[in-house]
Structure formats: structure tokens, C-alpha cells
Chain A
Amino acid sequence: MSHDNSSPDFLQHHFHDVDQQYETAKLGMWAFILTEVLTFGGLFVAYVVYRSWYPEMFVGANLLLDVNKGLLNTIVLITSSLTMVLAVWAIQQKKQKLSLFMLIATFLFAFMFLGIKYLEYSHKFEVGQLPGEYYSYMGPEIAHLNNPHIFFSIYFIMTGLHGLHVAIGMGLIAWLIYATAKGNLHSKYYTPMEMIGIFWHLVDLIWIYLFPLFYLI
């Protein structure tokens, strides 16, 4: 591995220097975050519009969700966000091993999140609280409300898309674990770790909104 500062091997040919490369990557990442926010944005619009049309149904239907599981998932995801940011912090401080450990922890928390989500989903599937036409739950607390299937459509699409992001994030973190263990990422070059970190915090940030919107209010 070359330690020549003028052209280290991780510098791509079309950049002047590592700083330009790093800042370009970061700006690109933030442009990507913007598109992510607006992708979820469309679903937030659907949520707001239907909530304004069916306020009672939304209040009634969110009581069917399991607050404890939602709360547990929130805590898991915030913790994973912390371990992710600590992984970046550790590699900046040349603590490769600590960084690796933090990445593995992040991965495990992400896995836990999906596990809890799976338990939640399978319960919903059992009782017939399904999206759209497949909805069949007419329990006493909801039978008098109009169109609860729309609430569950939005719930499944939003949390499903979020879950998909968690799964993609897990793939990326797995790759980071591999790259860090091999020594490709180090205190001089950790751009991918920081970028994936930003992505992971976005996943956390979106959950921060989803949790109260679906479980609490």
C-alpha cells in the first residue's frame, strides 16, 4: 500500500486530491439523501391526506399496533445509530478493532430490528390486519370505523419500505465489516464508512417519525 500523500492508491484518477474526492462523495451522498427524503415524502403525503380525511379511523386503527414492540424497535435503532457513529469515530482515531466491533454491533442491532418487525408483521397477518383488499379484521374496536384497510396499507408500505432500507443497510454494513477487517478502510480513508453511516442515520431518522405517527397518535 502506498503512503505517498500526493497520490495514494484510493485516489481516483479524475480527482486532484483526497479532499476533493472526499467532499465530492459527501455532496453526492447528501444529494442522494434528498431523494430518499422525497421518496418517503410521497408516503408521508398519503398519510397526512388520509389522516385528515379519516381522523377517527386513524386514531382507532393505531391502537391495534403494538406500542411495546414499536418502542423496543426505536431503542434498538437509536442504539444502532450510536454504534454506527462510534464506528466512524473509532476509525478516525485509528482504533480499527473498536471500529470493527461497533460495525458488528450495528449489524446485529439491525438484525434485531428486522426480527422484531417480523414478529409484528406475523401477528398482523394472523389476525387479518392486512393491506388493501386482503384486510379482513373486523374486531369490536374497529368494526364501526370506515376503511381501516387504508391505514394498514400505508402502515405496511411505509414500514415495509423502511424495512427494505434496513435490509439494504445491513448489506452495506456487512461489506464495511469485510473491508475494515481486510484493512482497506483506515484512518486516512474511511469515506465509504462515513457515507454508509449517513445512510444508516437517515434510516434511523425516518423511524423517528414513523414511530409516533403509527404507534402513538
Chain B
Amino acid sequence: MSTQSDNQTAAAGNRSSGWVVFVFFMIGLVASIISGWVAFPELLYSTKQQPIDFNHQVHLEQMGGQCNSCHFFREDGSFSGSPTLEECKSCHMYPMTGNENEQKFIDEYVNQDKEVPWLIYAEQPPCVFFSHAAHVKGADMQCATCHGDIGHSTSLREYQENRITGYSRDIWGKSMLRLGEPDHGGRHQKMNDCAECHLKETGSKGDCFQCHK
């Protein structure tokens, strides 16, 4: 077999050949490290635009500076999340400002009686029970602590979705390896992040059922 002689040549110790081997090893190493750290995260996430570029700042000013004017607790203790079309319509039945986003909202959603398919940055998977009441009412936390200062943003950032899991990149977290710091000024919301904060604040990570359903 031909390999036999190759091996013997190699065994004889051809210096430059050894270097070539090492160089190739390094090429492989560096290339994979770069693609793994730089290209992979780009490939892993798809980028989506919000259906309407919503201006939180303007609404916050109009609604008296309170998040809970639109994101409120219902009587049964549940949290309303994003406003429904019905709730938006209570002001935006007809154009109020001449803003093009507002016009788009009225044309495409109000007039067609269609809910706006907002992409929720902090959307938790179906197995999670997250209690806004416990955090906001019970522990007196501010919205911005987790969500960042989205209330004063004038434009919605793009939404990044993990192609494998369907998770929003915002909840991405510490488990395994995080790929970058949160860029929204709030916190990551994967389980380990929750547990870390709970451990710090309450002395216990909490029992499973506290957050799972």
C-alpha cells in the first residue's frame, strides 16, 4: 500500500512537512473558531421586522407616562401584555396624527378588523408561567429592569428569532453559551437568568412549578 511509504517518509522527520501539517491544523482551528463565533450566530437567527414601527415614547407621553395605561393587570390578576386591536381602536379608530405608521395601522388592521401580529421580544415558551403580578405587584419591580427602557424608544428594533427553537433572541440567556450581551438594556430571560436573580433576591432559585406549567 502506498501509505506505508508515506508514513515512513513522515516518520523520517521531514521538517517542512511537519510545519505544513501544523499550519493546516492552525488554519482549521482559526477558521472554525472564527466561523463558530462570528458566522454561526448570524446564521442561527432570522431577522424579522415588526408589522408596524411603534413609537413607545410618543404613546408614553400621551398616556401620562404610565406603562400600565396600555399594559395593565386584569381583574383576575392576569397581565394583558400587548394591547389588543380593540384597545388600540379606542383612540385610533380614525387617524389622529397623519403619521404613516398610524395610517398603516388603520388601513391594514383597524379597517380589516385584524389583530396586529406583534413580535414579542420577551415571549416565553409555552411551558413557562411567568407571573407579572408577582414581580410588579409583589416585588415592586420596574418594567425597565427586565425589558430595558423600551418605554422611551421611538422605534421598534428588529426581532431576531432562533431558527431551531423559535425563541426570541432576547430571552437567550446564560445556559450553555450566551452569544453576546443583551442590547435592549434589560435582562436575559432564560431559566438560568431567572434562577440567578431569584437566588440573589430571595435566597432560593425557587421550585420548578413556580415558573413552569
Q: Does A pair with B?
A: no
